[in-house]
Amino acid sequence: MFYVGVVRYFATGEGVTIYVASGSEESIRKAIPEYFLPLLVLLTPTDWLKAADGDCADKNHQSHAKVLQTYLPKLWNQIEEKALGRDCLLNFFMKHQFNYS
């Protein structure tokens, strides 16, 4: 099964760390450090589209979907392609960390 996983971690003094990865559940779990795994949201491309449309009960998923749409538009386009059943190679990993303190 193909997934896109997102982690958003916030900590006072540490700032914000965001991970985004695609692939199998196993490959995503290997790519993200163990400390962050409890925050991991794994959804299929179809489930990401539903979350973006507000068609899911989890507000956290909806928030993550909006972040993907807004800040990673090329990735979001590929998620849409995958959800439509179009075979595209979507191999993605990103870590973004910032601290304004």
Token look-up 């692939």 returns 23
* DSSP string computed for 35-78: GGGGG-EEE-HHHHHHHHTT-SS-HHHHHHHHHHHHH-HHHHHH
- List the pLDDT tens digit at each of the 101 positions of the chain: 899 999 999 988 889 999 999 999 999 999 999 999 999 999 999 999 999 998 888 899 999 999 999 999 999 998 998 888 887 777 889 999 999 87
pLDDT of res. 76: 93
Range of the domain at 30: 3-98
Sheet of strand 15-23: strand arrangement? 41-43, 3-11, 15-23, 93-98
**What span, in angstroms and rounded, lies between the C-alpha atoms of 23 and 62?**
20
**What span, in angstroms and rounded, lies between the C-alpha atoms of 9 and 78?**
24
What 3-state DSSP class applies to 31? helix
What total number of domains does the chain contain?
1
Q: Are 36 and 43 spatial neighbours (Cβ–Cβ below 8 Å)?
A: no
pLDDT of res. 31: 95
